[in-house]
Structures are given as structure tokens and as C-alpha cells.
Amino acid sequence: MPELPEVETVRRGLEPVLVGRRIRRVDLARKDLRRPFPPHFAERLRGRTVTSLARRGKYLLARLDSGETWLIHLGMSGRFTIIPPNGKPRVPGEFYYEAPADAGARGPHDHVVIELEDGYRLVFTDPRRFGVMDLIAPDGEESHPLIADLGIEPLGNEMNAERLAKAFRGKKAPLKAALSDQKVIAGLGNIYSCEALFRAGLSPFKPAASLVTKAGAPRAGLERLVKAIREVLGEAIEVGGSTLRDYADANGTPGGFQTLFSVYDREGEPCRRPGCGGIIKRVVQSGRSTFYCPRCQRRTGS
DNA sequence: CGGGACTCCTGCCAGC
DNA sequence: TGCTGGCAGGAGTCCC
């Protein structure tokens, strides 16, 4: 599930259910996910009201009326299911709209259940347990180790060619790796890095620094990349993100962007750019699959 | 220091 | 049909 568009989709789905409601009960099925829950996690959530639900990169930040912030990362397989008190869909079209027949039964990977004062329950399910939850002390967000070093927020005001040029300057890492680096840009993962590079017509193998002039100014390719990132993320959020292997799973609304992939998971298929005729290739870069069109993505800086 | 390899964990699926 | 190896949306840690 979880790159920026998917996390944002989850945020928008949870917001109307969670914000403004008091947490009545917290059940933990185990003491850790990828790392241990913080001390007294359930007790510190219980009785609190969520005052806002924000997102930074791939992290969700639920601010509590205690001043603390409940930090959530979905990892590879984390997701939330909203179970209304009557077990039926709350509002069709929201994040969760198809209550399973056994709504309320706890599955083997349902690690956290949050019950709200109005009887709604949020179930956090994460088979691979790469997810993270933590509680941040009041005013501690900016210094929290998991989010302090995050890079540019790609949908924010600071996302522009000049800022990205500063981050790319001198970087020898290939563009694909640089884009997926959360310290450079926060929120892009394997899918949207590939998709953004395709849209910008840029080779995933060229060093990030090749998009910056010697003087440190953005080259034309970097301007294209900024635009491509914004567009790809925006379009993906519009259709609820991407859903891959768990597409048929009844737990949660499937996203729609996977049918719009230009390159991701399309190895051997024809490039979708009219008249291109290229075949999508897959290579492994720093341990992860990169998908690209060898015809469209030859360009470097200009 | 920057960048790549390895690791955590479970599920799934192509291929034998 | 049934097993199995490889691979999966992330990212911290280690090592060169």
C-alpha cells in the first residue's frame, strides 16, 4: 500500500472518523511491530481525543489533546480498517466501504484495535510488521529521529526546482535512488519514483547531480521532474492510490492508480506513449526493481 | 561522508 | 496438485 498517495488516501479516510473523537479503548495483540510500541502506549492513547490528523512523507501524525503526537508508519503491508458500530459501511465511497462478514473478528495480523467513544473501531493490520507506531512528546515532532531528517514534502510549497537542485547537487547516486531517498524527498517509493522519471523522460541511471548545473542551478530536466512528481502524486491521490497484490482483498477500498501505471510492473509490455514502440524494461537498482522505457527515458539534464 | 548490500517478516505466485 | 524459491509498496544498520 504505502507510498505518499496511499498514505494520504488513508489519512483522508481516517480523518472524518478519528478527529474529534475520544479514544475509549486500545487493544494491542503484541508488544511490537517493527520496533516495540512506546512505554504505556495504550494508556497514553486511552481517554485522549485526536485533534488533527496530518501527514509528513509516508508518516501519519495524529495530534492528541494531551499534546503528544501519535506517529504511524504503514511499512509495506500496514492498513487500517474502519468498523462502524453496526458493522455496516458508514459512508459509501470512503476509505472503507465493504465491511467483512465477520466484522469485529480479529485476524492473525490485526495488531492494534482502537475503539472510539462512538463505537467505531479502527483496526490496524500489518502482516509483515514493517509498520511503526510511536508517541512523540509535546513539541518533539521536529526532533523525532524518524521524521527530523525527512526531505522535501513533494506536495508542499518548498517543492520546487531550486530546492531540489540544492538536494541533488553533488549527488552521485542514480536518479532512481535519489528520488526514493526519504532524506531528499519524503514520500516517493519504488512505484512513484519510476513513474515520475518516465513522465519526465529521464534515465533512472544518470546521477542526480546531472540535473544541476555547475553553478547549482536546476537544468531543464529537473524542472520537468518537479512537474512530473507533482502530477503523478496528484493523479494517484485522486483515484485513491495504488493497490497491488491485495487488490481483491475485501479489507478496504482498492485504489485505482495501478491501472494507470506507465512503467511500474509492466516489464515486457509496450510503452504507452503513442508512437514510441519501446518495450518496458526491468532492472535491479540498489536492490529494488526499476521499470523504465529505454526509448523515452534517455535524457539527462536538458 | 556517500552509497550499496543486507536484514527484518509474511504472503503470494510462477515454475518446476 | 504441491512444494519452493524468488519477489514484494519500506527503511534502519552495517560496511566499504
What per-residue confidence (pLDDT) applies to A252?
55
Q: Residues A77-105: pLDDT tens digits?
A: 998 988 888 765 443 333 333 344 455 56
Q: Within this chain, do residues A58 and A174 fall inside the same structural domain, yes or no?
A: no
Domain count, chain A: 2
What's the CATH number where A41 sits?
3.20.190.10
The reply to whether A81 has its C-beta less than 7 Å from any atom of strand C is no
Flag whether pLDDT at A32 surpasses 50: yes
Q: Which helix (H) or strand (E) holds A122?
A: strand A121-125
Q: What order of strands is seen across the sheet that includes strand A59-64? A: A50-56, A59-64, A69-73, A132-136
Residue of A44, A58, A206, A266 with catalytic role: A58
- pTM score: 0.93
> Residue A65 belongs to what domain range?
4-136
Q: Within this chain, do residues A174 and A268 fall inside the same structural domain, yes or no?
A: yes
The residue among A119, A136, A153 that closes a domain is A136
Q: Residues A225-255: pLDDT tens digits?
A: 999 999 999 999 999 898 876 544 444 567 8
What's the CATH number where A204 sits?
1.10.8.50
Is A200 within a domain?
yes
* Rounded Cα–Cα distance for residues A155 and A238 (Å): 13
State yes or no: is A2 an active-site residue: yes
Q: Of how many residues is chain A composed? A: 302
Is A142 within a domain?
no
Is A144 within a domain?
no
CA A270, C1' C4: Å apart? 31
Is A246 within a domain?
yes
Task: Output the nine-digit C-alpha cell for A244.
Answer: 497491488
Nearest to A13 by CA among A91, A118, A124, A108: A91
State yes or no: is A117 an active-site residue: no
The reply to whether A129 has its C-beta less than 7 Å from any atom of strand B is yes
Task: For helices A190-200 and A220-238, give the axis angle rounded to 10 degrees.
Answer: 130
* Rounded Cα–Cα distance for residues A180 and A173 (Å): 11
The residue among A101, A136, A171 that closes a domain is A136
Is A154 within a domain?
no
